């Protein structure tokens, strides 16, 4: 149980384009999902918290207009990187937490974004 | 300031050579401490959650313990497949949802 998937696993795009990353909880309903970013040899940094049916909460320093988050259902959250630039290249990882009081976050396999 | 510090940054062990990884934290009102394993290019894999000082949890060759200031991840008789980066994290908000991660300990086990 507690499986989280992400799609795509890798994406390469040109500067100025937008990229959408999907995060799905496969065997449980996730009232809350989280988006993290990880640079090489660095730890995970929380970008935003996504609650189903409401607006995402962004961490300080994260541009909400650049990183659009939608949590349309209890099993799906999406992160759209708009007008991507090379400095947005990173490893993006989502996690999900089920809504029945358990507070462990289960992580997806990550998406490697490379912006040329 | 809430902080999570892991040591050592890197650890090389021979197969069968037991050791411990450390995670020290400074947060007000601990609402759990999480251990994850991360392989290169993959997302973190959940290992343990500890909630109170004195608590211990075990899984195969791993045992996690918690005191009021730190947590240890003990690895007994490690095998090469235990090679990975081990991350600890603590929640820093009231709801217990926003996790702050340590930088991790990269473990290499050679045969």
Provide the mean pLDDT of chain B.
Answer: 93
Tokens 């991790």, residue?
B104
- pLDDT 10s digits, B66-110: 998 999 999 999 999 999 999 999 988 777 678 899 999 999 999
Q: Which residues of B touch A (CB under 8 A)?
A: 31-32, 34, 36, 41-46, 49, 87, 89, 91, 96-104
Provide the mean pLDDT of chain A.
Answer: 91
Would you give the DSSP letter of residue A88? G
User: Contact A37/A59 with Cβ under 8 angstroms?
Assistant: no
DSSP three-state, residue A87: helix
DSSP three-state, residue A86: helix
Query: In this structure, are strands B10-14 and B62-66 parallel, antiparallel, or unpaired?
Result: unpaired
For residue A108, give how far its alpha carbon lies from the nearest alpha carbon of chain B (Å): 6
Nearest to residue A67, comparing CAs of A52, A53, A78, A54?
A78
* pLDDT score, position A53: 81
In the predicted model, is pLDDT for residue A100 greater than 70?
no
Percent of chain B surpassing pLDDT 70: 97
- Contact state of A44 with B96 under an 8 Å Cβ cutoff: no
d(CA A70, CA A92): 15
Cβ within 8 Å of residue A40, ≥6 positions away: none
- Contact state of A44 with B101 under an 8 Å Cβ cutoff: yes
Percent of chain B surpassing pLDDT 90: 80
* pLDDT score, position A99: 60
* pLDDT score, position A1: 64
Q: Where are the beta strands (DSSP E) in chain A?
A: 4-7, 10-13, 19-25, 30-38, 44-51, 57-58, 67-73, 76-81, 90-98, 106-107, 111-115
* pLDDT score, position A102: 53
- pLDDT 10s digits, A4-54: 999 999 999 999 999 999 999 998 888 889 999 998 888 899 999 988 888
The whole-number average pLDDT for the span A76-89 is 96
Stronger pLDDT, A97 or B86, i.e. the higher one: B86
* pLDDT score, position A13: 96
In the predicted model, is pLDDT for residue B6 greater than 70?
yes
- Contact state of A105 with B99 under an 8 Å Cβ cutoff: yes
């Amino acid at each position: 149980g507690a499986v989280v998937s992400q799609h795509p696993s890798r994406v390469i795009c040109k500067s100025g384009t937008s990229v959408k990353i999907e995060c799905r909880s496969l065997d449980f309903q996730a009232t809350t999902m989280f988006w993290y970013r990880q640079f090489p040899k660095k730890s995970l940094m929380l970008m935003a918290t996504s609650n189903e049916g409401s607006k995402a909460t962004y961490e300080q320093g994260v541009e909400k207009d650049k990183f659009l988050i939608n949590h349309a259902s209890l099993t799906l959250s999406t992160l759209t990187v708009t007008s991507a630039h090379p400095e947005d290249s990173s490893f993006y990882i989502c996690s999900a937490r089920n809504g029945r009081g358990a507070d462990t976050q289960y992580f997806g396999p990550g998406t490697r974004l490379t912006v040329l | 300031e809430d902080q999570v510090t892991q040591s050592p940054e890197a650890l090389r062990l021979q197969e069968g050579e037991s050791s411990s990884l450390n995670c020290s934290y400074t947060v007000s009102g601990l609402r759990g401490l999480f251990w994850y394993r991360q392989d290169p290019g993959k997302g973190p894999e959940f290992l343990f959650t500890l909630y109170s000082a004195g608590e211990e949890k075990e899984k195969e060759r791993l045992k996690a313990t918690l005191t009021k200031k730190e947590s240890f991840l003990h690895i007994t008789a490690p095998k090469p497949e235990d090679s990975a980066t081990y991350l600890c994290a603590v929640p820093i908000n009231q709801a217990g949802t926003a996790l702050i991660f340590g930088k991790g300990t990269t473990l290499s086990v050679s045969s």
